[in-house]
């Protein structure tokens, strides 16, 4: 989502004459687009601001101005604190107001002190953003934002606000524009992307069906989904639409019912497993990835083992795993029985080792298989191109440069530590 938001900020600023710079030292403006999901991510902002302050001072001494802005969820949650701890920052803006960046830049240029805009405006920012510029053959498209689910560990409902779905017409128009610009693969984005709903009762499955008909769109993905919002129509889309890639990121967070309840996830282990069964029964080559939190308050060894067991049972081919990070203002941060750091470290290492094993096994099972690969860039070696398999694995192949931006049939021949090797099928 932050990658998408950063690209849209660049779109908004382009008419003012701003374009991307390679290094902060050369930049008239630096925007830090920040994440508040875990403490480590939030703390990084302040260390990065320290580094940028030096660059800003050096530029000022050389008679060059640098506008420094902090955007994103840390700005939303800690706007005042940023201005207190880093008074050299010119602009602080939340994720819902970046369409107003040009005004903020003008205000900052008038040097009237720092500009702070962390409102949740009544009119959604999407109504004010210019058309996106297509870059490359794969693009993100934000369809939904915010969250009403209030998992007890999570800051998203506070920083991104209530659930909002963009209208289908706007999404279809943006997709058509991207496809005309050469995009072949679109990943639909949302904090609860499958909670998307449009007018006339459309759900995400119906939207994906309409997107599959947009000329030029060859591949569709969506992330991140919530198990509670996986409805029949979306499951059917996996069975019926070849454009919808057979790879689904479906976070579960824990394999223990006790912990899932304390997390306020609104589903238990069995419901999740039944959902996976339904998905795999309609789409047998579906592979799943997930998110796990280890060391949630009160997580016992047995609860943790239940997560390990679920990872084996579902056979996730990839997973993001995190140590629980207490976030200010969330219910879990105030819970008793916080798990000691060394225990979290040990559990994280175990989860990651198991997942590494499963990812490697899956990669090896791909050898000999034919796959449709979207070639999207030159490889590291001459005459080589790099692309993505339906399962998001990086694949390299010897192929002519004009094939960049096309989907080709390849046969996987070898597994490397971070990629697969292939030959034309
Ligand atoms: N909406 C998605 C869902 O319900 O699964 C997740 C979106 S959240 C932005 C991304 C991931 O960050 C979560 O799935 C969770 O694993 C992780 N996360 C969120 N809050 C966390 C916390 N306080 N500590 C550790 N990990 C956290
Ligand atoms: Fe956070 Fe996802 Fe839970 Fe919403 S559903 S509170 S975004 S983890």
> According to the model, what pLDDT value does residue 134 have?
67
Q: Is the CB of 325 under 6 A from ligand 1?
A: yes
- For the chain, how are helix, strand and coil distributed in percent, rounded to 5? 40, 20, 35
How far is it, in rounded angstroms, from Cα 51 to Cα 65? 16
Kindly report the backbone phi and psi dihedral angles of residue 186, in degrees, each rounded to the nearest multiple of 5, phi listed first: -120, 130
How far is it, in rounded angstroms, from Cα 323 to Cα 344? 6
Q: Which residue ranges make up each domain of the chain?
A: 1-117, 125-365, 367-424
Nearest CA to ligand 1 atom 16: 291
Helix-then-strand count for the chain, H and E: 12, 17
pLDDT (tens digit per residue) in 323-337: 999 999 999 999 999
Q: Is the CB of 154 under 6 A from ligand 2?
A: yes
Class of domain 1-117: alpha beta
pLDDT (tens digit per residue) in 109-165: 886 678 888 888 877 888 888 877 767 899 999 999 999 999 999 999 999 999 999
Q: Is the CB of 75 under 6 A from ligand 2?
A: no
Q: Is the CB of 158 under 6 A from ligand 2?
A: no
Taking the CA of 193 as reference, the closest ligand is 1
Q: How far is the CA of 23 from the centre of ligand 2 (A)?
A: 34
- Strand-pair partners of 377: 386
Q: How far is the CA of 147 from the centre of ligand 2 (A)?
A: 6
> According to the model, what pLDDT value does residue 110 have?
80
According to the annotation, is 154 in a ligand binding site?
yes
Q: Which CATH superfamily is domain 367-424 in?
A: Nucleic acid-binding proteins (2.40.50.140)
Residues whose CB is less than 8 angstroms from the CB of residue 281 and which lie 6 or more positions away in sequence, other chains included: none
Q: Which CATH superfamily is domain 125-365 in?
A: tm_1862 like domain (3.80.30.20)
- Strand-pair partners of 385: 378, 397
Using the 8-state DSSP alphabet, how is residue 334 labeled? G
Question: Using only C-alpha atoms, what is the Rg of the chain?
Answer: 23
Q: How far is the CA of 88 from the centre of ligand 1 (A)?
A: 31
Q: Is the CB of 320 under 6 A from ligand 2?
A: no
C-alpha closest to that of 192 among 232, 139, 251? 251
What is the chain's pLDDT, residue by residue, as a tens digit (425 residues)?
Answer: 899 999 999 999 999 999 999 999 999 999 999 999 999 887 899 999 999 999 999 999 999 999 999 999 999 999 999 999 999 999 999 999 999 999 999 888 886 678 888 888 877 888 888 877 767 899 999 999 999 999 999 999 999 999 999 999 999 999 999 999 999 999 999 999 999 999 889 999 999 999 999 999 999 999 999 999 999 999 999 999 999 999 999 999 999 999 999 999 999 999 999 999 999 999 999 999 999 999 999 999 999 999 999 999 999 999 999 999 999 999 999 999 999 999 999 999 999 999 999 999 999 999 999 999 999 999 999 999 999 999 999 999 999 999 999 999 999 999 999 999 999 98
Taking the CA of 158 as reference, the closest ligand is 2
Taking the CA of 227 as reference, the closest ligand is 1
Q: Is the CB of 147 under 6 A from ligand 2?
A: yes
Q: Is the CB of 193 under 6 A from ligand 2?
A: no
How far is it, in rounded angstroms, from Cα 7 to Cα 212? 24
How far is it, in rounded angstroms, from Cα 354 to Cα 343? 17
Taking the CA of 254 as reference, the closest ligand is 1
Pocket test for ligand 2, best of 154, 158, 230, 259 (most atoms within 8 A of CB): 154
């Amino acid at each position: 989502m932050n990658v998408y938001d950063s690209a849209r900020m660049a779109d908004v600023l382009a008419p003012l004459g701003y374009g991307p710079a390679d290094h902060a030292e050369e930049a008239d403006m630096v925007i830090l687009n920040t994440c508040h999901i875990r403490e480590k991510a939030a703390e990084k902002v302040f260390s990065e601001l320290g580094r940028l302050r030096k660059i800003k001072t050096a530029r000022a001494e050389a008679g060059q101005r640098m506008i420094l802005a902090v955007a994103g969820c840390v700005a939303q949650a800690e706007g005042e604190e940023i201005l207190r701890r880093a008074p050299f920052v010119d602009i602080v803006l939340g994720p819902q107001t970046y369409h107003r960046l040009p005004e903020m830049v003008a205000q900052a240029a008038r040097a009237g002190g720092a500009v702070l805009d962390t409102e949740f405006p009544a009119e959604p920012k999407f109504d004010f953003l210019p058309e996106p510029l297509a870059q490359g053959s794969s693009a993100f498209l934000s369809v939904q934002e915010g969250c009403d689910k209030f998992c007890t560990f999570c800051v998203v409902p506070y920083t991104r606000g209530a659930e909002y779905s963009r209208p289908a017409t706007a999404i279809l128009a943006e997709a058509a524009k991207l496809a005309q610009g050469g995009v072949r693969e679109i990943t639909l984005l949302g904090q609860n992307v499958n909670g998307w709903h449009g007018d006339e009762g459309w759900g995400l499955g119906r939207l994906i069906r309409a997107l599959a008909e947009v000329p030029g769109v060859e591949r569709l993905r969506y992330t991140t989904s919530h198990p509670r919002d996986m409805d029949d129509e979306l499951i059917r889309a996996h069975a019926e639409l070849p454009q919808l890639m057979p790879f689904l990121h479906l976070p579960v967070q824990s394999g223990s019912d006790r912990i899932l309840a304390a997390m306020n996830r609104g589903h238990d282990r069995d419901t999740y497993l039944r959902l996976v069964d339904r998905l795999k029964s309609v789409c047998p080559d579906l592979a799943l990835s997930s998110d796990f939190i280890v060391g949630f308050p009160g997580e016992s060894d047995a609860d943790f083992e239940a997560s390990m067991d679920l990872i084996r049972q579902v056979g996730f081919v990839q997973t993001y795993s995190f140590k629980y990070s207490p976030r200010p203002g969330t219910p879990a941060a105030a819970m008793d029985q916080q798990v000691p750091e060394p225990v979290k470290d040990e559990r994280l290492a175990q989860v990651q080792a198991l997942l590494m094993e499963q990812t490697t096994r899956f990669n090896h099972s791909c050898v000999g298989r034919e796959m449709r690969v979207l070639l999207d860039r030159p490889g590291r070696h001459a005459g080589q191109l790099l692309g993505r398999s339906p399962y998001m694995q990086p694949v390299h192949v010897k192929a002519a440069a004009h094939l960049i931006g096309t989907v080709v049939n390849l046969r996987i021949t070898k597994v490397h530590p971070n990629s697969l090797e292939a030959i034309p099928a």
